Amino acid sequence: MRLGHVILTCLLLTSLLYAGDPANCLRIPPELEARVLYYHSFANGLDQPEVNLLKAKLQKPIAQVQPGGLTGPGLAFAADAKKPQGMALLSPEFRPSRPLTISFWWRFDAPMKPETGFHLLTLRGGGIIANFVRGKGKWCGLRQPTYVQQVYYFKGINNRNQLGGRAWLEPGEWHHTVMVLRNANRVQVYWDGALRTDYAIRGRAFTPNDGGTLEIGPNGRQHPMTIDEILVLDRA
């Protein structure tokens, strides 16, 4: 059984055990509940996250909340959007100088092609901390969809463009992505529980002036996908 399937099974079993109890809607260990800054299951629609201590403002995406999410509704992005746009959340608290764990689930709603690329999440402001996939093409001479992690454009911080191998995924399968920011200088990214990036930045540490915008889902690289269960913790 794949790791992603194991995690999904655990989530579904937990949701059944705690169905109807608002205190356990997050499906995380109780000791982490007090560390939640933002949580959105889309159960109440696009504009109503269950937790928003960051007072994050939503830049509405070109997407629809519809059935078929991880454990309820999810936010679905189609392929024919004239202006591909993911979900953007604006808050000065989205800064890499503080400990943060950013987590969400996603799945493809159409098969990939060799040229397929897609965006997962970016922390933007003064520069970008981005996790995405680029498909076959001229960029870096890629021959297949490839994992990419970037720390780029921050003044005083060395640019980092990490290519992390083949990234070919089947439609209909749920995947989990987590970005962890720690010590104001370290970026870690996990896919389905596997560590894909562990990078200590060089040049200077992140400052409170960095960051401010969290982008999740399609952003210039559009592929039909559904996202769900966005969770942000104030710890690494």
Share of the chain above pLDDT 70, in %: 86
If you write DSSP's letter for every residue of 15-71 in order, what string do you get? HHHTTT-GGGTT-S-GGGGGGEEEEE-STT-TT--SEETT-PEEE--S-EEES-SSS
Which range among 4-8, 55-59, 69-73, 221-225 shows the weakest confidence by mean pLDDT?
A: 4-8
Residue ranges of the alpha helices (H) in the chain?
Answer: 3-17
Helix (H, G, I), strand (E, B) or coil at 137: coil
25: pLDDT confidence band, cut at 50, 70 and 90? Answer: low
CA gap 102, 125 in Å, rounded: 16
- Cβ count near 187 (within 10 Å): 23
- CB within 8 A of 221, min separation 6: which ones? 84, 117, 118, 119, 132, 133, 134
Lowest-confidence range among 26-30, 89-93, 214-218, 227-231? 26-30
Closest of 85, 69, 92, 87 to residue 8, by C-alpha? 69
Measure the CA–CA gap between 148 and 133, rounded to whole angstroms: 6
Q: Decide: helix, strand or coil at residue 236.
A: coil
- The pLDDT confidence band at residue 62, using thresholds 50, 70 and 90, is confident
Q: What is the pLDDT of residue 163?
A: 92
Q: Give the mean pLDDT of 119-130.
A: 96
pLDDT of residue 139: 83
CA angle 63, 67, 73 (to 5 degrees): 75
Q: By the 8 A CB rule, do 205 and 211 touch? A: no
**140 exposed, middle or buried (CB, 10 Å; 0-12, 13-18, 19+)?**
exposed
